[in-house]
Amino acid sequence: MLSFPGFFLETPIYIYLKSINLYFVSMKVQHVHLGVTYFKDAWEIQKVLHGNRIKNRTGDIILTTEHHPVYTLGKTGERDHLLLNEKSLAERKIDYFEIDRGGDITYHGPGQIVLYPIFDLNNFYKDTHRFLRDLEETVIITLENYGITGHREEEFTGVWVGDEKICAIGIKVSRWVTMHGLAFNINNDLTYFDSIIPCGIFHKGITSIKKILGFEVDIAEINKLLMENMGKVFGIGIEEVSEDEFMKNFHHFSLT
Protein backbone atom coordinates (compact mmCIF):
# COMPACT_ATOMS: atom_id res chain seq x y z
CA MET A 1 0.00 0.00 0.00
CA LEU A 2 1.34 3.39 -0.97
CA SER A 3 2.23 5.52 2.05
CA PHE A 4 1.20 9.12 1.73
CA PRO A 5 -1.04 11.05 4.12
CA GLY A 6 -4.71 10.29 4.34
CA PHE A 7 -5.18 7.27 2.12
CA PHE A 8 -4.90 4.50 4.70
CA LEU A 9 -7.62 2.03 5.56
CA GLU A 10 -6.40 1.44 9.14
CA THR A 11 -7.72 4.12 11.48
CA PRO A 12 -8.64 4.31 15.20
CA ILE A 13 -12.13 3.31 16.29
CA TYR A 14 -14.12 5.78 18.33
CA ILE A 15 -17.68 6.42 19.47
CA TYR A 16 -19.65 9.61 19.81
CA LEU A 17 -23.15 10.29 21.08
CA LYS A 18 -25.71 12.76 19.70
CA SER A 19 -29.17 13.11 21.22
CA ILE A 20 -30.36 9.57 22.02
CA ASN A 21 -28.56 7.96 19.09
CA LEU A 22 -25.25 6.16 19.44
CA TYR A 23 -23.04 6.36 16.37
CA PHE A 24 -20.26 3.83 15.97
CA VAL A 25 -17.40 5.09 13.84
CA SER A 26 -15.36 2.24 12.41
CA MET A 27 -12.97 4.22 10.20
CA LYS A 28 -12.01 7.67 9.03
CA VAL A 29 -12.69 8.77 5.49
CA GLN A 30 -11.13 11.79 3.84
CA HIS A 31 -13.16 14.59 2.33
CA VAL A 32 -11.75 16.91 -0.34
CA HIS A 33 -13.65 19.85 -1.77
CA LEU A 34 -12.36 20.49 -5.30
CA GLY A 35 -14.01 23.87 -5.86
CA VAL A 36 -15.55 24.46 -9.29
CA THR A 37 -14.40 21.86 -11.82
CA TYR A 38 -15.06 20.68 -15.34
CA PHE A 39 -16.92 17.39 -15.24
CA LYS A 40 -14.34 15.63 -17.42
CA ASP A 41 -11.53 16.48 -14.98
CA ALA A 42 -13.48 15.27 -11.94
CA TRP A 43 -14.48 12.09 -13.81
CA GLU A 44 -10.82 11.33 -14.57
CA ILE A 45 -9.90 11.84 -10.91
CA GLN A 46 -12.70 9.47 -9.91
CA LYS A 47 -11.51 6.81 -12.35
CA VAL A 48 -7.99 6.85 -10.92
CA LEU A 49 -9.22 6.71 -7.31
CA HIS A 50 -11.78 4.02 -8.13
CA GLY A 51 -9.25 1.82 -9.92
CA ASN A 52 -6.77 2.07 -7.10
CA ARG A 53 -9.41 1.53 -4.44
CA ILE A 54 -10.26 -1.76 -6.15
CA LYS A 55 -6.56 -2.68 -5.88
CA ASN A 56 -6.68 -1.75 -2.17
CA ARG A 57 -3.98 0.86 -2.71
CA THR A 58 -6.08 3.70 -1.30
CA GLY A 59 -8.68 4.21 1.38
CA ASP A 60 -12.22 5.48 1.03
CA ILE A 61 -12.59 9.14 0.08
CA ILE A 62 -15.36 11.65 -0.60
CA LEU A 63 -14.99 14.31 -3.29
CA THR A 64 -17.29 17.33 -3.45
CA THR A 65 -17.36 19.92 -6.18
CA GLU A 66 -19.47 22.31 -8.23
CA HIS A 67 -19.27 21.73 -11.97
CA HIS A 68 -19.23 24.11 -14.88
CA PRO A 69 -22.51 23.60 -16.83
CA VAL A 70 -22.77 20.03 -18.11
CA TYR A 71 -25.39 17.43 -18.99
CA THR A 72 -24.52 13.80 -18.24
CA LEU A 73 -26.40 10.79 -19.55
CA GLY A 74 -26.24 7.51 -17.63
CA LYS A 75 -25.82 4.14 -19.30
CA THR A 76 -29.54 3.31 -18.98
CA GLY A 77 -30.68 6.72 -20.25
CA GLU A 78 -32.07 7.81 -23.59
CA ARG A 79 -30.31 10.35 -25.81
CA ASP A 80 -33.57 11.99 -26.84
CA HIS A 81 -34.09 13.15 -23.25
CA LEU A 82 -31.57 15.87 -24.17
CA LEU A 83 -33.63 18.52 -25.99
CA LEU A 84 -30.66 20.45 -27.44
CA ASN A 85 -28.54 19.67 -30.49
CA GLU A 86 -24.76 19.96 -30.60
CA LYS A 87 -24.91 23.49 -32.03
CA SER A 88 -27.17 24.70 -29.21
CA LEU A 89 -24.93 23.07 -26.60
CA ALA A 90 -21.89 24.83 -28.07
CA GLU A 91 -23.67 28.20 -28.23
CA ARG A 92 -24.72 27.92 -24.60
CA LYS A 93 -21.28 26.58 -23.55
CA ILE A 94 -22.71 23.46 -21.98
CA ASP A 95 -20.71 20.23 -22.03
CA TYR A 96 -22.33 16.84 -22.64
CA PHE A 97 -21.07 13.39 -21.69
CA GLU A 98 -22.43 9.87 -21.93
CA ILE A 99 -21.04 8.17 -18.84
CA ASP A 100 -20.82 4.91 -16.93
CA ARG A 101 -23.21 5.53 -14.03
CA GLY A 102 -26.75 4.28 -13.68
CA GLY A 103 -29.73 6.46 -14.36
CA ASP A 104 -30.79 8.81 -17.12
CA ILE A 105 -29.88 12.43 -17.91
CA THR A 106 -29.21 15.21 -15.41
CA TYR A 107 -27.63 18.64 -15.20
CA HIS A 108 -24.70 19.86 -13.09
CA GLY A 109 -23.71 23.48 -12.67
CA PRO A 110 -22.49 26.19 -10.30
CA GLY A 111 -24.53 26.44 -7.12
CA GLN A 112 -25.15 22.69 -7.00
CA ILE A 113 -23.15 20.38 -4.70
CA VAL A 114 -21.99 17.22 -6.43
CA LEU A 115 -20.73 14.53 -4.06
CA TYR A 116 -18.67 11.55 -5.19
CA PRO A 117 -17.99 8.83 -2.58
CA ILE A 118 -15.29 6.35 -3.58
CA PHE A 119 -16.19 3.66 -1.05
CA ASP A 120 -15.32 -0.01 -0.80
CA LEU A 121 -18.63 -1.49 0.29
CA ASN A 122 -16.80 -4.56 1.58
CA ASN A 123 -16.03 -2.33 4.57
CA PHE A 124 -19.66 -1.28 4.99
CA TYR A 125 -22.21 -3.72 3.57
CA LYS A 126 -22.54 -5.49 0.22
CA ASP A 127 -25.84 -3.87 -0.62
CA THR A 128 -26.08 -1.21 -3.34
CA HIS A 129 -29.74 -0.49 -2.54
CA ARG A 130 -28.84 0.30 1.06
CA PHE A 131 -26.00 2.51 -0.17
CA LEU A 132 -28.46 4.51 -2.28
CA ARG A 133 -30.88 4.79 0.64
CA ASP A 134 -28.06 6.01 2.90
CA LEU A 135 -27.11 8.70 0.38
CA GLU A 136 -30.75 9.78 0.31
CA GLU A 137 -30.89 9.80 4.12
CA THR A 138 -27.82 12.04 4.26
CA VAL A 139 -29.60 14.63 2.12
CA ILE A 140 -32.93 14.29 3.92
CA ILE A 141 -31.44 15.04 7.34
CA THR A 142 -29.39 17.89 5.87
CA LEU A 143 -32.58 19.47 4.53
CA GLU A 144 -34.07 19.26 8.04
CA ASN A 145 -31.48 21.82 9.17
CA TYR A 146 -33.25 24.34 6.89
CA GLY A 147 -36.76 23.38 7.92
CA ILE A 148 -37.33 21.50 4.65
CA THR A 149 -39.00 18.09 4.61
CA GLY A 150 -37.42 15.81 2.04
CA HIS A 151 -38.70 12.36 1.22
CA ARG A 152 -38.18 9.35 -1.03
CA GLU A 153 -40.40 8.27 -3.90
CA GLU A 154 -41.03 4.54 -4.14
CA GLU A 155 -40.58 4.47 -7.92
CA PHE A 156 -37.51 6.69 -8.20
CA THR A 157 -34.06 7.07 -6.67
CA GLY A 158 -33.27 10.50 -5.20
CA VAL A 159 -34.72 13.00 -2.74
CA TRP A 160 -37.92 14.95 -3.29
CA VAL A 161 -39.66 17.94 -1.73
CA GLY A 162 -43.33 17.70 -2.52
CA ASP A 163 -43.56 16.60 -6.14
CA GLU A 164 -40.19 18.08 -7.15
CA LYS A 165 -36.74 16.49 -7.10
CA ILE A 166 -34.04 18.31 -5.13
CA CYS A 167 -31.31 15.66 -5.31
CA ALA A 168 -30.47 13.23 -8.11
CA ILE A 169 -28.42 10.10 -7.43
CA GLY A 170 -26.60 7.84 -9.88
CA ILE A 171 -23.71 5.50 -9.14
CA LYS A 172 -21.40 2.88 -10.57
CA VAL A 173 -20.31 -0.11 -8.50
CA SER A 174 -17.49 -2.40 -9.60
CA ARG A 175 -16.11 -5.12 -7.31
CA TRP A 176 -18.15 -3.43 -4.58
CA VAL A 177 -16.28 -0.12 -5.02
CA THR A 178 -18.48 2.89 -5.75
CA MET A 179 -18.04 6.00 -7.86
CA HIS A 180 -20.25 8.86 -9.10
CA GLY A 181 -22.83 9.85 -6.49
CA LEU A 182 -25.35 12.63 -5.88
CA ALA A 183 -26.20 16.12 -7.15
CA PHE A 184 -27.89 18.37 -4.58
CA ASN A 185 -29.62 21.53 -5.86
CA ILE A 186 -28.73 24.47 -3.62
CA ASN A 187 -28.47 27.84 -5.42
CA ASN A 188 -28.16 26.64 -9.02
CA ASP A 189 -30.00 28.03 -12.03
CA LEU A 190 -32.88 25.60 -12.56
CA THR A 191 -33.67 26.84 -16.08
CA TYR A 192 -30.95 24.50 -17.40
CA PHE A 193 -33.28 21.60 -16.55
CA ASP A 194 -35.79 22.96 -19.09
CA SER A 195 -33.61 21.59 -21.89
CA ILE A 196 -33.71 17.98 -20.70
CA ILE A 197 -36.20 15.44 -19.36
CA PRO A 198 -34.52 15.22 -15.94
CA CYS A 199 -33.78 11.61 -14.98
CA GLY A 200 -36.16 10.60 -17.79
CA ILE A 201 -39.16 11.58 -15.62
CA PHE A 202 -41.76 13.54 -17.57
CA HIS A 203 -44.37 14.30 -14.91
CA LYS A 204 -42.39 15.75 -12.01
CA GLY A 205 -40.47 18.98 -11.45
CA ILE A 206 -37.11 20.15 -10.11
CA THR A 207 -36.48 22.34 -7.10
CA SER A 208 -33.62 23.72 -4.99
CA ILE A 209 -33.07 25.06 -1.50
CA LYS A 210 -32.97 28.60 -2.95
CA LYS A 211 -36.30 28.10 -4.73
CA ILE A 212 -37.97 26.77 -1.57
CA LEU A 213 -36.60 29.37 0.87
CA GLY A 214 -36.63 32.32 -1.53
CA PHE A 215 -32.99 33.25 -0.94
CA GLU A 216 -29.49 31.90 -1.48
CA VAL A 217 -27.81 29.88 1.26
CA ASP A 218 -24.15 29.34 2.12
CA ILE A 219 -22.90 26.36 0.11
CA ALA A 220 -19.85 25.93 2.34
CA GLU A 221 -22.18 25.59 5.33
CA ILE A 222 -24.26 22.95 3.54
CA ASN A 223 -21.12 21.08 2.50
CA LYS A 224 -20.09 20.97 6.15
CA LEU A 225 -23.52 19.72 7.22
CA LEU A 226 -23.46 17.06 4.50
CA MET A 227 -20.17 15.72 5.82
CA GLU A 228 -21.43 15.71 9.41
CA ASN A 229 -24.60 13.88 8.41
CA MET A 230 -22.77 11.46 6.13
CA GLY A 231 -20.58 10.59 9.10
CA LYS A 232 -23.65 9.76 11.17
CA VAL A 233 -25.45 7.78 8.48
CA PHE A 234 -22.43 5.76 7.31
CA GLY A 235 -20.74 5.46 10.70
CA ILE A 236 -17.50 7.13 9.60
CA GLY A 237 -15.28 9.93 10.80
CA ILE A 238 -14.64 12.65 8.23
CA GLU A 239 -11.12 14.02 7.88
CA GLU A 240 -10.87 17.27 5.92
CA VAL A 241 -8.01 17.53 3.41
CA SER A 242 -7.19 20.67 1.43
CA GLU A 243 -7.46 20.65 -2.33
CA ASP A 244 -3.75 21.54 -2.62
CA GLU A 245 -2.65 18.66 -0.39
CA PHE A 246 -4.92 16.24 -2.20
CA MET A 247 -3.78 17.27 -5.68
CA LYS A 248 -0.12 17.05 -4.68
CA ASN A 249 -0.60 13.50 -3.41
CA PHE A 250 -2.95 12.59 -6.27
CA HIS A 251 -0.41 13.71 -8.89
CA HIS A 252 2.26 11.54 -7.27
CA PHE A 253 -0.15 8.64 -6.88
CA SER A 254 -1.55 8.76 -10.42
CA LEU A 255 1.94 8.48 -11.87
CA THR A 256 2.83 5.32 -9.94
* Catalytic residue annotation: 199
Cα end-to-end distance, the chain, whole Å = 12
| Residue 54 CB neighbour total at 10 angstroms | 15
Q: Which of 5, 231, 193, 28 is nearest to 112 (CA)?
A: 193
Q: What is the DSSP string of 68-121?
A: SSEEEE-TT--GGGB---HHHHHHHT-EEEE-SSSS-EEEE-TTEEEEEEE-BG
- C-beta separation of 216 from 187 below 8 A: yes
- DSSP lists the bridge partners of residue 181 as 170
Contacts of 194 (CB under 8 A, 6+ apart): none
Q: Which of 49, 26, 65 is nearest to 231 (CA)?
A: 26
- Using CB atoms within 10 Å of the CB of residue 123, give its burial: 0 to 12 exposed, 13 to 18 middle, 19+ buried: middle
Give the C-alpha separation, 42 to 38, whole Å.
7
> 180-214 b/e with 16+ CB inside 10 Å = b?
bbbbbbbbbebebbebbbbbbbeebebbbbbbbee
